[in-house]
Amino acid sequence: MENIEILFDEVKINERVKVLAKELYEKYGEDEVVFICTLKGAVFFACDLLKNYKGDARMEFLRVSSYHGTETTGKIELNLSISKENIQGKHVVIIEDIVDTGHTLAFLNEYISDMQPATLEICTLLDKKIKRVVDIDPTYSGFVVDDLFVIGYGLDYDQKYRNLPYIGVLKKTKKISK
């Protein structure tokens, strides 16, 4: 049996996403921005962010993975890529669900930088600074979180719980034997 402790409710997430969208618009104005959503975890965040973004936006998708269960494998896998002509000379913002060790973000930063964007920034919903082992930080961050395994609003545990409208911490409960 599992229970979930709510860390950030739907209202708090929506408020913070609106602030991030406004900050991004203040930076880029009417210039076209290519937002790159990392699948699968960042899709809810990316959709809400872009619904609140007032500027000229295009969306691309990358699929990267480094987790199995609750642990990172340390190996970055790129399963869906994008083409250089969609990125070169453009303002680009990578949208991530969570940054912890920084390995995935460093990989993505290098991968996109090689495509020669005009600018490249990172916007993450959650920033787990305490786990960082790579010297990389997101430009925009929704919430800083402690070393917790979080689920919901796109974040999963073995592909479950993504559809929760809030971000929570999965708590394992012991089975009581009779």
pLDDT in tens, 87-122: 999 999 999 999 998 988 898 999 999 999 999 999
Single pTM value for the model = 0.87
Which tops the pLDDT comparison, 71 or 137? 137
**pLDDT given at position 1:** 36
d(CA 31, CA 14): 24
Gyration radius from the chain CA atoms: 17
Please list the helix, strand and coil fractions of the chain in percent, rounded to the nearest 5, in that order: 25, 40, 35
How far is Cα 12 from Cα 17, in angstroms, rounded to an integer? 9
Q: What's the token pair of residue 129? A: 């600074």
In whole angstroms, give the CA distance from residue 43 to residue 173.
Answer: 29
Rounded Cα gap, residues 27 and 175, in angstroms: 51
Write down the catalytic residue from 100, 127, 135, 137: 100
Higher pLDDT, 8 or 101: 8
| DSSP alpha helix (H) spans, 29-160 | 43-52, 103-113
Calculate mean pLDDT across residues 56-74.
Answer: 73
100 is catalytic: yes
pLDDT in tens, 9-35: 999 999 999 999 999 999 999 999 999
- Looking at residue 71, its pLDDT comes to 57
Q: Quick check: 52 pLDDT over 60?
A: yes
* pLDDT at 178 > cutoff 80: no
Residue 69 has pLDDT above 60, yes or no: no
The half-sphere exposure of 62 on its side-chain side, counting CA atoms within 13 A, is 28
